[in-house]
């Protein structure tokens, strides 16, 4: 399908059309499968509670402060 420019475009058009038809068919099958399971448009999930680790946060802030201080000591101020 790549002998001439027209053949290339014709081949690409056929591939695009085939991909569209297959995707549309798959979407229809997925929709009917979800409808058969009683899907109403909402997802019900359990979200675990997110906790903030105070020691990890303190250690991260201390590390960043130490790196900034070390950079200023070794490189000097920005002037």
Residue-range domain boundaries for the chain: 5-75
Distance, CA of 26 to chain centre: 22
Q: Which two tokens stand for residue 16?
A: 């695009």
Mean per-residue pLDDT over the chain, rounded: 90
Position 79 scores a pLDDT of 60
Confidence of residue 21 (pLDDT cuts 50, 70, 90): very high
Taking residues 5-14, report their average pLDDT. Answer: 93
Examine the pLDDT at 48 and tell me if it is beyond 70. Answer: yes
Joined tokens for residue 73: 């000591």
- Percentage of the chain surpassing pLDDT 70? 95
**Please, is 29 exposed, middle or buried when counting C-beta atoms within 10 Å of its C-beta (0-12, 13-18, 19+)?**
exposed
């Amino acid at each position: 399908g790549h002998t001439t420019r027209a053949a290339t475009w014709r081949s690409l058009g056929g591939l695009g059309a085939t991909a569209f038809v297959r995707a549309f068919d798959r979407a229809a099958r997925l929709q009917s499968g979800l409808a058969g399971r009683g899907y109403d448009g909402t997802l019900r999930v359990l979200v675990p509670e997110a906790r903030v680790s105070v020691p990890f946060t303190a250690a991260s802030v201390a590390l960043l402060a130490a790196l900034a201080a070390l950079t200023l000591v070794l490189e000097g101020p920005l002037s």
